[in-house]
Chains A and B, each alone.
Chain A
């Protein structure tokens, strides 16, 4: 257990529905990342927060995806109007400012039917 928690662990939804995932990073970590991982692939970067500021978003990130970190602690990732192609593992990672090491949560497995 790295200290990064994610909820829910699994989510099954129907195409067109909205879903929201939550990530609680290690408490002293002010940097937070969201990744998406499909079977047999490495994690794909989605977005990055420093405290509450969203500093970077992947060009691959559709307008249907939005992320927030309102108080610089936990973060949420929302997917609107889900599509079958959104089915994947959504991973959250955190680190402290000057350090490179990213610590990952267990992920949320999304299945869109």
Chain B
């Protein structure tokens, strides 16, 4: 069935450095790729997303890249800050709007 793999499971970076989280998907019909940030005890928060007709999207310190040929997409956070510490989830969706989720990455920002 459809599957989304996410790596790494834990990422520790120094404050101010960049963080990269990668996901691969199996369904070639997937056309929508959101990233969610989840803080402890809260619901997931949509932080950025990308459609299949775009290769890259940027919003301030956050960017997402998509390689449809290789079926992978990545989240890039630059100039990391303590408030970026959270669990990040990638997901993929095809035309049925159903989200298939990655297992999550715990991002730790070291002061």
Contact = CB atoms under 8 A, between A and B. Distances in A.
Interface of A: 2, 4, 6, 31, 40-45, 48, 56, 91, 93, 95, 100-107, 109
Contacts of B44: 43, 91, 104
Contacts of B101: 42-44
Contacts of B45: 2, 104
Interface string B26-66: 00000010101000011111100101000000000000000
A42 B97 contact: no
Nearest to B96: A56
B86 interface: no
A87 B13 CA distance: 33
Nearest to A9: B41
Contacts of B103: 41-42
Given A42-B102, A48-B98, 5 more contacts: A4-B43, A100-B32, A100-B34, A100-B97, A104-B46
Nearest to A31: B97
Contact of B99 (A41, A102, A103, A105): A102
A101 B46 contact: yes
A103 B49 CA distance: 12
Which of B44, B91, B98: most chain A Cβ within 10 A? B44
Given A43-B44, A105-B43, A100 B104 contact: no
B43 A42 contact: no
A1 B102 CA distance: 23
A106 B43 contact: yes
A93 B91 CA distance: 14
B46 A100 contact: no
B73 interface: no
A41 B104 contact: yes
A100 B93 contact: yes
B89 interface: yes
A43 to B, nearest CB: 6
| Most chain A CB atoms below 10 A, which of B41, B91, B97 | B97
